[in-house]
A = this chain, B = another copy of it.
C-alpha cells in the first residue's frame, strides 16, 4: 500500500487560471477580495494574475491594480505569470514572490497557445528566469499538456522529461505537471510525474489537474501516492481551457481539501471558510459552484 504525505500544500490558481477566460470583465476589487478570502481561509500560495498582452487575455489587464490592492500576509506566496521579458519587467514593480513561465509538452499546443516552438519558448524564458533569480524572485515552470493535447492526442512521457530538462537547464526551480485538458487517468499522470522527476525532485513538482473528464481527484490521489505534496486547485472549480471544447476547470480546491482532511492529511486550510469563499465568488460570477463537496456542505448547512 502506498504511503501518503503528512501534509499537503495547496496552491490556489483561481484568481489567474480560474478567471482568465471569463467573458464578462471581473472587477479588480473582486479579484483582490478573492485573494484576501483565500489567504484568510489558510491558503499559503496563490496565483494572482498574469502579465500578458491585454489583446490576448483582456481579463488580466488589471494586473497592476490587483497586485497593488493586495493586503499581503507574511508567509503567503503570491505568484504571477510572465511569458517574456516585457511581462517580467512589468511584473517587477508589483513585487511578486514567484513568477511562472509556461511551456507545453506538445509541440502543436506550443505553436497554437504561445505561437512558438517548445525550443523557442525556452529561449524566450531564459532571460526572464535569469532576471527573476537575480532579483530574488522564485521561478516556477508550468508544463502544460503533459498527458494529452487537443491537437496531438496522447503525449508520451519522454516529451515531459524533455521539457522538464529544458526548464532545469535555464534555472527554473520547480515545475507543474499539468493535465491542461483533463484527459489524464491515474497511471498516465503518474508516468508524466515520473518523467518530470528525472530532472526535479518530488518536493519541486506540483500536480495541476483539470476535471474535464471527472478524473482530477483520482489523479490527485495518484500523484500523492508518488510522493507529490504540492497540489494546485481552483476554488469552486473555476476555470477552463479555450482550446478544448467542453473543457472544465481545475479540480475544485474544496474537493481536494475534503479528501485530504478525510485522509488525515494536514493542509492548514479551514474548509468552512474555503466553502464560503467558493460560494461568494460563484455568486459574483452568477453561476453554480463546480465543487461537489461545497454543494454538499452548503446543503447540509441548510
Question: Residues of A at under 8 Å CB distance from B?
Answer: 1-2, 4, 182-188, 211-215, 217-218, 220-222, 225, 245-248, 252, 255, 258-259, 261-264, 291-293, 295-300, 302
Contacts and interface: CB of A to CB of B under 8 A. Distances in A.
Number of identical monomers bound together in the oligomeric complex: 2
Nearest to A211: B292
Contact of A295 (B246, B291, B297): B246
A247 B2 CA distance: 30
Nearest to A215: B259
A214 to B, nearest CB: 3
A2 B186 CA distance: 12
Contacts of A261: 185
Given A187-B262, A215-B255, 16 more contacts: A1-B225, A182-B296, A185-B261, A185-B263, A186-B259, A188-B262, A212-B296, A214-B252, A214-B291, A215-B258, A215-B293, A217-B218, A218-B220, A218-B259, A246-B300, A248-B292
A293 B212 CA distance: 7
A89 B292 CA distance: 40
A217 B183 CA distance: 14
Of A247, A252, A263, A292, chain B has the most CB atoms within 10 Å of the CB of A292
A296 B185 CA distance: 14
A258 B225 contact: no
A299 B213 CA distance: 11
Contacts of A222: 221
A246 B297 CA distance: 8
